[in-house]
Chains A and B, each alone.
Chain A
Amino acid sequence: EPEVTQTPSHQVTQMGQEVILRCVPISNHLYFYWYRQILGQKVEFLVSFYNNEISEKSEIFDDQFSVERPDGSNFTLKIRSTKLEDSAMYFCASRIDWGGTDTQYFGPGTRLTVL
């Protein structure tokens, strides 16, 4: 069964460094998402991406964050200058975007630790 994949599974970085989290959505899906989950808290929406542009973004998704679909398969989340409070699990999700199937499929997540 097709699945969303994410790399790396765990990223440790120093505060102020840039990180890029990578995702490969399911191949025929058209909507892509990033969510994050701070340890012990609920999953929060960051950004959605459709037709090569940001569709919606939350208040969390400030100027330090950016997303890109550099080729036909990868979907990346970049954090330009990481802060301690960016430590979280980051999930990528994708959705097929046609009527009848609204399920979002999540990847296994990347655990980001900012020291």
Chain B
Amino acid sequence: SQQGEEDPQALSIQEGENATMNCSYKTSINNLQWYRQNSGRGLVHLILIRSNEREKHSGRLRVTLDTSKKSSSLLITASRAADTASYFCATDPGGAGSYQLTFGKGTKLSVIP
């Protein structure tokens, strides 16, 4: 499989429920970032978690990182219809390179009002 694989590929929930998306990766990372993309639009940065961090919060978002399992999860609490979008994790290898991000295929979240 490839670096930055999210699951599930698609998730449909009712407004008010929590949504959890997972991301797995293969190689070592400097940080992992989550982005949101509304249909056909640009990428909006949500949150960055560094390799030495285990959990991070931002508003209704909670991200965890388990470097031993090479996995991360994004939790959106109390979802709203406006959260409907695709969510991507992207890994940053750090090191001496140019820090280009490797994206997963994304989770398509539908929040039903």
Residues of A within 8 A of B (CB): 31, 33, 35, 41-45, 48, 50, 55-56, 58, 89, 91, 93, 95, 102-109, 111
Contacts and interface: CB of A to CB of B under 8 A. Distances in A.
Interface of B: 4, 30-31, 33, 35, 40-45, 48, 88, 90, 92, 94, 97-106
Nearest to A45: B100
Contact of B103 (A42, A58, A107, A111): A42
B41 A109 contact: yes
B105 A42 contact: yes
Contact of B100 (A48, A89, A103): A48
A91 B43 contact: yes
B41 A56 contact: no
A55 B31 CA distance: 20
